[in-house]
Chain A
Amino acid sequence: MPIDESMVGRKYPAAEPYQVGREKIREFADAIGDSNPAYRGDDAVAPPTFAFPLGSRALESLLADPELGLRLDRIVHGAQKFSYVRPIKAGDEITATATITTVRKAGGVDVIIYETELATPEGELVATCTSTISHAAEQAG
Chain B
Amino acid sequence: MSAVEVGTRLPSLTVTLRRADLVRYAGASGDFNPIHYSDRMASALGLPGVIAHGMLTMAEAARVVTDWIGDPARLVEYGVRFTKPVVVPDDDAGAEVAFGGTVVAVDNESGTAEVEIIAESGGQKVLGRARAIVRL
CA A73 – CA B119 in complex, angstroms? Answer: 26
Question: Is the Cβ of B27 less than 8 Å from the Cβ of A73?
Answer: no
A30 surroundings in chain B (CB, below 8 A) = 24, 28
One digit per residue, 1 when the CB lies within 8 angstroms of any chain B CB and 0 when it does not, for chain A 46-72 equals 011100110010000000000000001
B104 close to chain A: CB less than 8 A: no
Interface of A is mostly: mixed
A83 surroundings in chain B (CB, below 8 A) = 76-77
Instruction: Across the interface, name the chain A residue whose C-beta is closest to B44.
Output: A73
Question: Is the Cβ of B80 less than 8 Å from the Cβ of A52?
Answer: no
Which of A7-15, A74-82, A93-101 lies at the interface? A74-82
A6 close to chain B: CB less than 8 A: no
Asked, given contacts A77-B54, A78-B81, A80-B55, whether A48 binds B66 with beta carbons under 8 Å apart, the answer is yes
Asked, given contacts A73-B45, A77-B54, whether A32 binds B33 with beta carbons under 8 Å apart, the answer is no
Question: Is the Cβ of B28 less than 8 Å from the Cβ of A47?
Answer: no
Chain A interface size, under 10 / 10 to 19 / 20 to 34 / 35 or more: 20 to 34
Question: Is the Cβ of A82 less than 8 Å from the Cβ of B78?
Answer: yes
A38 close to chain B: CB less than 8 A: yes
Instruction: Across the interface, name the chain B residue whose C-beta is closest to A128.
Output: B77
CA A45 – CA B70 in complex, angstroms? Answer: 13
Q: Which of B27, B45, B55 contacts A49 (CB 8 A)?
A: B55
Question: Is the Cβ of A34 less than 8 Å from the Cβ of B54?
Answer: no
B136 surroundings in chain A (CB, below 8 A) = none
B56 surroundings in chain A (CB, below 8 A) = 31-32
B residues whose Cβ falls under 8 Å from a Cβ of A: 15, 21, 24-25, 27-31, 33, 45-46, 54-56, 58-60, 62-63, 66-67, 70-73, 75-82, 129
